[in-house]
Amino acid sequence: MNMIRSTTQSSSSLILLYAFLLLSISLVTSSSEYEDDYNFLQCLSQHSDPSILTYTSKDSNFSSVLFSTIQSLRFYSPAIRKPRVIVTPLKESHVQASVICSKRHGFQIRVRSGGHDYEGLSYVSDVPFVVVDLSNLRSIKIDVENSTAWVESGAITGELYYRIAEKSRNLGFPSVFCPTVGVGGSFQGGGYGNMLRKYGLAADNVIDARIVDAQGRVLDKESMGEDLFWAIRGGGMSFGIVVSWKIRLVYVPTNVTVFTINKNLDQGATKLVHRWQEVASELPHELFVRVSISVVNSTTKEGQKTILASFPSLYLGNTENLLAVMKERFPELGLETKDCAEMTWIQSQLYINGFPVNGSLDILLSRNQVKRYAKIKSDYVKEPIPETGLEGLWKKILEEKSVARMNFSPNGGRMAEISECEIPFPHRQGNLYSIQYVVGWEGAGSEAAEPHIRWMRELHEYMTPYVSISPREAYLNYRDIDVGQSINGTATYLEGMFKR
């Protein structure tokens, strides 16, 4: 009994000692982290004015600020490392201070503008880090006379479109489809939308910028030099923090024409998509015909699903001219006058996002996002996928039990005329169209995500024979951390080659 009591006491003592050591380590770590955070904040106060806004985990609204512009719910959970500090600059000097102090105190910087990063790279890190959230830097100054504008990186695309339309009915800008995407991230990765065939990418129309470099200096196009100015327009976000951009606005007619044609498999969707591949990149520059693939209930087979191919389109001209072009170049789609609607360019931005075209334009100013669990991938296609390949693709999509869709966006036009060396965006001549793959699901955690992510990777593998190769191309703004890895997580150099 004494031996048992002694052993029990000894075990209890060890447990208490272990618990004490863990607590001591935790307290030391917490104390060290608190000191690091305090020193960082003190540094900020020394290098900026009192108006700078910061949040630490001790602040009651820290979580709400962090969550405010996170779109991908996969990267917001208690298990994922949070930033030590969130800085929300109100002016350039606040960005400078953030860079100087992060460097001085050993924090990595994550920069976010709209929060649409599909892999959470703008607000997740494996090492101690701070988030510089640019959402308060959203000034937009339109110069109608010179058809230019200065826009800060924290503005969303909808705000930019809205402010342009306030000043002119005949000016627009060729940027992304979604109005809640931040300007900063989209411009630095390229930024494409439904005027890319007429005017190229958003990045193609950047003519100046102001960037805070690693030394905390504010540089413009002249002082940063040609190489850095080249790199920030399509080459990603590791060269500094771009605070604002000077852009070239483009001409849009007083009225444009939009239409959407929907066809399921029973209505010949496969042949239409196959034909679309042959003509979409060769149509007049003013015409952008996209394809969106989704799964819907069959109208002829009760309880079954089928594929729906939608053709949402924008023509920078009137209905009469559009019908003449389509009759000559793509009669298979069967476009008629009743399918078309004329409206202003800014109303067409409402149309493509599913908003009422005669509703208030104020919806474009909303920063509210659809938050979701999702995985996204991308590809570029150089040769039409044969009908058998499309049929196999439809079969793969119908296997997914959750929400799956694909978007095909045509190249050609101005995109094929600009050299792939003009800016660091290589997906130009030779590409018929790009593909965006999307799968979404309900439920948090890896167990809920795993079957859908596995399906997405299998779909991507299926597409290998039909898309670009050596290297396989992917769109930088459609973040995908699988890029460079094989399906089993290993890859040779050649297998892992990607062009982004």
Rg (CA), the chain: 26
Beta pairing, strands 472-473 & 218-219: unpaired
Q: Is the per-residue pLDDT at 321 higher than 70?
A: yes
Hey, do 140-251 and 255-344+365-483 end up sharing a CATH topology, with the first three levels equal?
A: no
Phi, psi for residue 297 in degrees, rounded to 5: -70, 140
Flag whether pLDDT at 476 surpasses 50: yes
pLDDT for 7 beyond 70:
no
Q: Is 72 in contact with 117 (CB distance < 8 Å)? A: yes
CATH number listed for the domain at residues 140-251:
3.30.465.10
Residue 497's pLDDT is what? 46
What is the reported pLDDT for 488? 53
Sorted by sequence, the CB contacts under 8 Å of residue 498 that are 6+ apart come out as 471, 472, 473, 474, 483, 484
In the predicted model, what is the mean pLDDT of residues 131-145?
97
Out of 21-30, 205-214, 439-448, pick the least confident: 21-30
pLDDT at position 370, please?
85
Does residue 2 have a pLDDT over 50? Answer: no
Q: Is the pLDDT of residue 295 over 80?
A: yes
The pLDDT, as a whole number, for residue 10 is: 47
- pLDDT confidence of residue 281: 98
Higher confidence at residue 165 or residue 499?
Answer: 165
Answer whether residue 24 shows pLDDT above 70.
Answer: no
Question: What proportions of the chain, in percent to the nearest 5, are helix, strand and coil?
Answer: 40, 25, 40
**Could you tell me the CA-to-CA distances from 125 to 111, 203, 376, 478 in Å, in that order?**
11, 27, 20, 18
Give per-residue pLDDT as tens, 373-386: 999 999 999 999 99
pTM of the model: 0.89
Q: What is the mean pLDDT of residues 304-332?
A: 97
CA distance 423 to 199: 14
The C-alpha atoms of residue 149 and residue 165 are separated, in whole angstroms, by 12
Type and span of the H or E element at 287: strand 287-289
Would you say 424 and 449 are in contact if contact means Cβ atoms under 8 Å apart?
A: no
Q: What is the pLDDT of residue 17?
A: 43
Would you say residue 77 has pLDDT above 90?
no
The residue among 193, 224, 187, 177 whose CA lies nearest residue 113 is 187
Residue 20 has pLDDT above 50, yes or no: no
Average pLDDT of the residues in 7-14 = 45
Q: How far is CA 490 from the centre of its chain?
A: 26
Tens digit of each residue's pLDDT (9 = 90 or more) over 414-467 = 999 999 999 999 999 999 999 999 999 998 888 999 999 999 999 999 999 999
Domain ranges of the chain: 24-133, 140-251, 255-344+365-483
- Choose, from 199, 315, 478, 493, the residue flagged as catalytic: 478
Confidence band for 31, pLDDT divided at 50, 70 and 90: low
373 is catalytic: no
pLDDT of residue 485: 64
CB count, 10 Å around CB of 324?
11
Q: What is the rounded average pLDDT for all residues in the chain?
A: 90
User: In this predicted structure, what is the pLDDT of residue 500?
Assistant: 55
The answer to whether residue 106 scores a pLDDT higher than 50 is: yes
What tens digit of pLDDT does each residue of 219-266 get?
999 999 999 999 999 987 778 999 999 999 999 999 999 999 999 999
Eight-class DSSP state of 197: H
Residue 208 confidence class, pLDDT cut points 50, 70, 90: very high
Helix or strand (DSSP H, E) at 108: strand 108-112
Contact, 364 vs 357, CB < 8 A? no
Whether pLDDT at 89 is above 90: yes
Bigger pLDDT: 35 vs 320: 320
Pick one of 3.40.50.10480, 3.40.1350.10, 3.30.43.10, 2.40.10.10 as the CATH number of 24-133.
Answer: 3.30.43.10
Least-confidence region, from 59-63, 86-90, 340-344? 59-63
User: Prior bond to 179 cis, omega within 30?
Assistant: no
Strand boundaries in 24-82, DSSP class E:
53-56
Provide CATH code, domain 255-344+365-483.
3.40.462.20
Between 319 and 303, residue with greater pLDDT:
319
**Amino acid residing at 349:** Q
Q: Rounded mean pLDDT of 323-341?
A: 98
- What is the rounded distance in angstroms from the CA atom of residue 285 to the CA atom of residue 301? 40
pLDDT in tens, 398-415: 999 899 999 999 999 999
